[in-house]
Homo-oligomer: A and B are copies of this chain.
Amino acid sequence: MLLKDLTWPEVKDLDFDRLIVVFPTGSFEQHGPHLPFTTDTDIVTAVAEGVEHALSDHVLLTPTLWPGLSTHHMHFPGTLDVPQKVYIWLITELGKSLTSMGAKKVFILNGHGGNDTPLRAALRELKSEVPDTQFVFASYWSIAAKTIRDVRESEIGGVGHACEMETSVMLHLHPSRVKVDRAVRDGSKHTDVFRAADMQHARPVYFVQEFYEMSESGVIGYPDLASAEKGKRFLDGIIAEVSAFVKEFLTW
């Protein structure tokens, strides 16, 4: 179900014991010289809609929160940033509205790496303020790690930002909005940094880098390996894995 198409009396009649509210979070930030600012938002929305389609009786989907934490991309013009403290507060308040609506289980489906820390922080606040609603957060690439490993052709360093995967999915979803001829491989100035930014690589130490310190073009990864067909395989696999998690969450 799409929350946006309901009316309040219909929401009042929902049986929240059998429902998971899915709340997708994206960003509005630079994605290199070839992808649009809404890339994260577009992809996570497509994933969320796929999941809702697969499990429509058990999923209540909200619109995607398109502004995200993009402080590290502010050197690239066009990026719209919600700084950390505001983002934590915003998510906490929207989470409280969901609780107030009756939600018992909320799945924050994230599509942007920069939101990771403030989403964790918001979940701590929500646990204290509205302990009876169960909030779970995951980025789609964490749940769908297997799909990404299976579909990607690049080595470590190829799947980061405006990369093989994101470019592929955008070619599948919005081909006319991809300026594919401008796509460049970038982010490899420094092996460590390069690895740090790959979605499949966790480092044991943490530090904050502004994106321009890692990439001149705004890309980290191998967009040149992208194709629409690969994008469809990424997306289908991600939707399947995320749907499987949502089904599991229903049983918790």
The chain A residues found within 8 Å of chain B, CB to CB, are 3-12, 28, 30-38, 62-63, 65-67, 71-72, 74, 76-84, 86, 88-90, 93-94, 97-98, 100-102, 117-121, 123-128, 131, 134-138, 142-143, 145, 177, 179, 182, 202, 204-210, 218, 245
Selected from B4, B37, B138, B207, the residue in CB contact (under 8 A) with A38 is B4
- Do B210 and A127 have beta carbons less than 8 Å apart? yes
Selected from B7, B100, B207, B245, the residue in CB contact (under 8 A) with A136 is B207
Contacts of A205 in B (CB 8 A): 136-138, 142-143, 245
- Do B37 and A4 have beta carbons less than 8 Å apart? yes
Most interface-central of A11, A97, A218 (chain B CB within 10 A): A97
- Can you name 15 extra interface pairs (CB under 8 A) apart from A71-B128, A136-B205? A3-B37, A4-B36, A4-B37, A7-B30, A7-B31, A7-B32, A7-B78, A72-B127, A80-B97, A81-B94, A86-B90, A88-B121, A136-B206, A137-B206, A204-B245
Most interface-central of A9, A135, A143 (chain B CB within 10 A): A9
- A33 CB to nearest chain B CB (Å): 5
Contacts of A210 in B (CB 8 A): 127, 131
- A120 CB to nearest chain B CB (Å): 4
Smallest CB gap from A101: residue in B: B77
The 17 sampled A-B contact pairs (Cβ below 8 Å) are: A4-B37, A7-B32, A7-B36, A8-B30, A8-B32, A8-B218, A67-B90, A71-B124, A80-B94, A81-B97, A84-B125, A86-B89, A117-B117, A117-B121, A117-B124, A136-B207, A137-B205
Smallest CB gap from A202: residue in B: B202
